[in-house]
Amino acid sequence: MRTDAGARSLFGGPRRTRLPRVPLLLGPALVAGVAYLDPGNVASNTAAGAAYGYLLVWVVVAANVIAWLVQYLSAKLGVVTGRSLPEHLGTRIRRPWARRAYWLQAELVAIATDVAEVIGGAVALNLLFGLPLAWGGLITGAVSLLLLAVHARHGARMFEVVIIALVAVIAVGFVVGVVVAPPAPGPMAAGLVPRFNGAGSVLLAASILGATVMPHAIYAHSSLTRDRFAGSTHTAARLVRATRWDVTIAMTIAGAVNVCILLLAAANVPHGTTTLNEAYDAIRASIGPIIATMFAVGLLASGLASTAVGAYAGGEIMHGLLHVRVPLIARRLVSLVPALALLMLGADPTRSLVLSQVVLSFGIPFALVPLVALTARREVLGAHRNHPVTTGLAVAAAALLIVLNVALLWLTFRPA
């Protein structure tokens, strides 16, 4: 565990303030936060806006508040202990068969994540250049290989810089439409009042809330902070304070972008729209080709960034649980296969996105429950363990997300 000793900063020279050079300590949360801006989020928020207008704005806001708490706990675990959540689980799950079973469910979740992200990139390339979906998937996979090569060659910091640049593209792509054609303030404000309108709105709310916190983001964030601050001479207390700022900035950006996606769809996409292609066409007809192109560019950046981070998370899960280190690029090649197979077989991309989010639902309890349990223990985090109020809120958030994911599964597969 990191101690509070040391008189010099991570970047050299004496410390002159309580929290020196805070911006230089930021970054891991913005990378992990890409999970909240992936094509699955784009699809669910677009569907919510098209179907119910501004009704579910409050759900998006609530989802990101919960996400802040979950991601902060994951980041704190990596900062204080210098070990990721998968590494902690790999040492605590003693029986090899149980460890392999745990890894298998986490690996399936990582593959499902990859399906959504590669398909999202393929759809974006189809919208922008008319490329067949299979070719778009191949290009998305190839670019993600280049992003992972940056991590392998230049380390965590350069990888952060590239992903944060893509996050900026995502933000511009989805926010510009709301800036150019702002929604009516009255209905938008009314959307902050919690309420539903029939079973369909409940299902969409469950989809947004239940699938917002991605299991791979929980695993990845603890790994990202571990890598980022390995060998740091900053005290754990200072790093934890910087991490709060990092998570707050990342989740504010993710929440604002997700709200803008819903607002853009509510104002410009007609009821009954079911695919991202139809949403693109509606935006193009409503506020012009430039904004529609920006929407597609944002979707492309979303697919590229999130698939690279998903591959990173998958590698960390395997290493922590099975104690096997497979090169990220090799993993990327293997995990591309299911997504490319679906595209080549002509599977409906929007349906595939929805089903991938359903698969993610299975992995939520396996990531959330141990995270809350570990961060509440003195023997793990020492003085930085959760305050009882924090633990109570985390337990409530975990229970809510698990219940919502169970509800989402039941609503998805119930008999007609």
Report d(CA 388, CA 390) in Å as an integer. 5
Say if CB 23 and CB 253 are below 8 A apart.
Answer: no
What does the pLDDT read at residue 13?
42
Quote the radius of gyration of the chain (alpha carbons, Å).
21
Interval 151-189: pLDDT, tens? 888 877 888 889 999 999 999 999 999 999 999 899 999
In this structure, what token pair is assigned to residue 16?
């002159």
Query: Which one, of 128, 124, 115, lies nearest residue 343 by Cα?
Result: 115
Interval 203-244: pLDDT, tens? 788 778 766 788 889 999 999 999 888 777 778 888 999 999
Report d(CA 223, CA 313) in Å as an integer. 8
Using 50, 70 and 90 to split pLDDT, how confident is the model at 49? very high
What does the pLDDT read at residue 21?
56
Among the residues of 53-132, which ranges form H helices?
57-81, 85-92, 96-129
- Measured from the Cβ of residue 368, the count of other Cβ atoms closer than 10 Å reads 24
Interval 294-346: pLDDT, tens? 999 999 999 999 988 888 888 899 999 998 888 777 777 787 888 899 999 98
Q: Which residues pair with 76 in a beta bridge?
A: none
Using 50, 70 and 90 to split pLDDT, how confident is the model at 416? low
What does the pLDDT read at residue 22?
54
Using 50, 70 and 90 to split pLDDT, how confident is the model at 390? very high
Report d(CA 45, CA 10) in Å as an integer. 40
Averaged pLDDT score across all residues of the chain: 87
Interval 109-122: pLDDT, tens? 888 888 888 999 99
- Measured from the Cβ of residue 253, the count of other Cβ atoms closer than 10 Å reads 22
> Could you give the maximum distance between any two Cα atoms of the chain, in Å?
67
Report d(CA 164, CA 148) in Å as an integer. 14
- Whether 11 shows a pLDDT value over 70: the answer reads no
Interval 62-114: pLDDT, tens? 989 999 999 999 999 999 999 999 999 999 999 999 999 999 999 888 888 88
Q: Which residues pair with 14 in a beta bridge?
A: 8
Share of residues in the chain with pLDDT > 90 (%): 54
What does the pLDDT read at residue 391?
95
What does the pLDDT read at residue 19?
43
Domains, the chain, with CATH or none: 22-413 (1.20.1740.10)
